Structure 1
């Protein structure tokens, strides 16, 4: 482990070497993996934005305990804004949300607050916004919906290749006045939606749910 740990970041991103990291996590006790996980945490961004590395970072977070787990989560949080729109990093952010660890959704929401509209129109960021609606509890989903609704360009999400899926997820997760506001948004822009491929699909789904 003393020999492996200094090169943990390189191994984590290697198509063959990453198997060594995963083997260590499964076979060795926590104290033996401590230095290895510490290197992974310090190189979090490089690993999270790599095709192989993002798949290694997730089990590292799962296997870590105590202060080391907190350090790994904090490292992801620090880069969350950039990772959310990365083709590989977004999976790491989604993984954190799926763990259901108390306080994690709150911290991630605060890191991304003010950027949800931008992320909703991003190929990879939209997956993170949808994950918030699917896995996070109130009040975060309501806050995100309201942030989207208060954006002057919110109607563009209805016809956006990625934003339309975010609106669909928001509708599925919302209740009360938030759902009413989303429904009103669709009704007011239905004509525009009918002339757009993505808008037409969202409108068909919306109307089907009201039958």
Structure 2
């Protein structure tokens, strides 16, 4: 069957300009076992697809379809690197936007505990991930993230990308109602 071939070659198809659109159409119009095979192929190759100019769109499509937890499991341990990549940062942002609170926490805590945390916040792509992290974390983690960002105030206040993240963190700290969010 054609979809079996697409599933077997999902990386080649998803990383092609035309194939990227075709695979998304397949995802939107099939069900059952063919859909499961295709989704499995995409999720298993999430790292390659996240970094690809076309493949990242396929991965984002799968995330929006609801397959978030498995993508997070496959990408776990790479969120810092992915956050600073032009294409993969969009995948990380979508994971933050569409995931449950506990799954968001997994991503954010991985980034927060990295020795490259400041690099992510000051990165041309990573700063957007940091802003989404501030937007989609809740309660104590949101405060902890805001506080951590504020602790780098001197490194961020005059930095072209870092100052945006710092401004968002300061807004949260000034509101003071982080545990009610």
TM-score normalised by structure 1 residue count: 0.78
Runs (4 or more) in structure 1 with deviation over 3 Å come to 204-211
1:50 is matched with which residue? 16
3-state SS of paired residue (1:197): coil
Partner of 2:40: 74
Larger Rg: 1
> Does residue 65 in structure 1 map to residue 4 in structure 2?
no
Ranges in structure 1 where 5+ consecutive residues have no aligned partner: 1-34
Distance in 1, matches of 2:83 and 2:64, equals 19
| Residue 208 of structure 1, CA deviation | 4.8
Aligned-partner Cα distance in 1 for 2:84–2:135: 18
Residues 150 and 169 in structure 2, CA contact (< 8 A), matched pair in contact too: no
2:76 to 113, 116, 123: 113
**CA apart distance, 1:84:** 0.7
Q: Which residue of 2 aligns with 1:140?
A: 103
Q: Which has the higher contact order (CA 8 A, sep 6+)?
A: 2
**Unmatched tracts of structure 2, length 5 or more:** 176-181
Alignment of 1:122-137 (within 5 A): 122-137=85-100
Task: Kindly state the Cα deviation for residue 148 of structure 1 after the two structures are TM-superposed.
Answer: 0.6
- CA deviations 1:140-178 (Å, max 9, x no partner) are 101101111111121211211111100100010011221
* Distance in 2, Cα, partners of 1:86 & 1:206: 31
Question: 1:155·1:185 contact (CA, 8 Å) conserved in 2?
Answer: no
Q: TM-score, normalised by structure 2?
A: 0.91
> Matches of 2:108 and 2:41 in 1, distance apart?
27
Range that drifts further, 121-130 or 199-208: 199-208
Q: Structure 2 CA distance, aligned partners of 1:110 and 1:204?
A: 31
SS where residue 143 of structure 1 aligns?
helix
Specify the SS of the correspondent of 2:167. Answer: helix
- The reply on whether 1:201 has 2:167 as its aligned counterpart is no
- Compute the displacement of 1:65 (Å): 1.1
1:190, CA displacement in angstroms? 1.3
Deviation string for 1:169-198 (max 9, x for gaps)?
001001122111110112111111122111
Number of residue pairs aligned between Structure 1 and Structure 2: 174
The structural deviation recorded for 1:113 is: 0.5
Number of the residue aligned with 2:179: none
